[in-house]
Structure 1
Amino acid sequence: MDSIQQFLPIIAMFAVVYLFMIAPQMKKAKNEKKFAAELKRGDKVILKSGLHGKVAELYDKDNSCIIETMSGKLKYDRSAISMELSKSLNKPEAKS
């Protein structure tokens, strides 16, 4: 019984680290992967670099997409698209 009590703080520390650090990161990665898979032509997006554009084409073979901007078309990896900023850009605005 005494040996279990010695390891209890270490076990509790691992549980706290998992609950507050590892699990949320795994959930965020899962949501970003789902967002990238659900992209479609015509979606307005913001890249992590701050570039605004519209999805012109999607390529499943190399997991990339063509982004149409004011200055032309650029090819980017889907992981370069910011999920949070793009969702806020595409959400319908509230009517006053």
Structure 2
Amino acid sequence: MEGNLLGTLGPLILMFVLFYFLLIRPQQKRQKAVQQMQSDLKKGDRVVTIGGLHGFVDSLDEDKVVIRCGDGSRLTYDRAAIRDVVSTDSASS
């Protein structure tokens, strides 16, 4: 009876383990990396928002970021709206 129970639950447990390592764990790592990037923002960083706005960090608050755009306007965003910090080497175009 124990062998039959293991034969029934074995594939289910294997599927859960694969699901964890292929989907859940990588998503947690990406989320942690994004949170780290957002907390490491500093004035002068070139950033891209989740809406696609490109600009430079003009000032920082606890949960807000003021972004200076190409025309000199300043827009306020939540820190969570910052998708990526763009390297200044690739920005020289």
Asked if Structure 1 and Structure 2 have the same fold, meaning a TM-score greater than 0.5 normalized by the shorter chain, the answer is yes
TM-score, normalised to structure 2, is 0.86
**Structure 1 gap segments, 5+ residues each:** none
Partner letter of residue 7 of structure 1? L
Aligned partner (choices 29, 38, 41) of residue 39 of structure 1 = 41
What value does the CA root-mean-square deviation take over the aligned residues?
1.3
The number of residue pairs the alignment matches comes to 87
**Structure 2 gap segments, 5+ residues each:** none
Partner letter of residue 26 of structure 1? Q
Q: Which has the larger radius of gyration?
A: 2
Aligned partner (choices 8, 11, 14) of residue 13 of structure 2 = 11
CA distance in 1, matches of 2:88, 2:54: 15
CA distance in 2, matches of 1:91, 1:4: 56
Residues 59 and 65 in structure 2, CA contact (< 8 A), matched pair in contact too:
yes
What is residue 26 of structure 1 aligned with on the other side? 28
Question: Is 2:70 aligned against 1:65?
Answer: no
Partner letter of residue 28 of structure 2? M
CA distance in 1, matches of 2:8, 2:39: 47
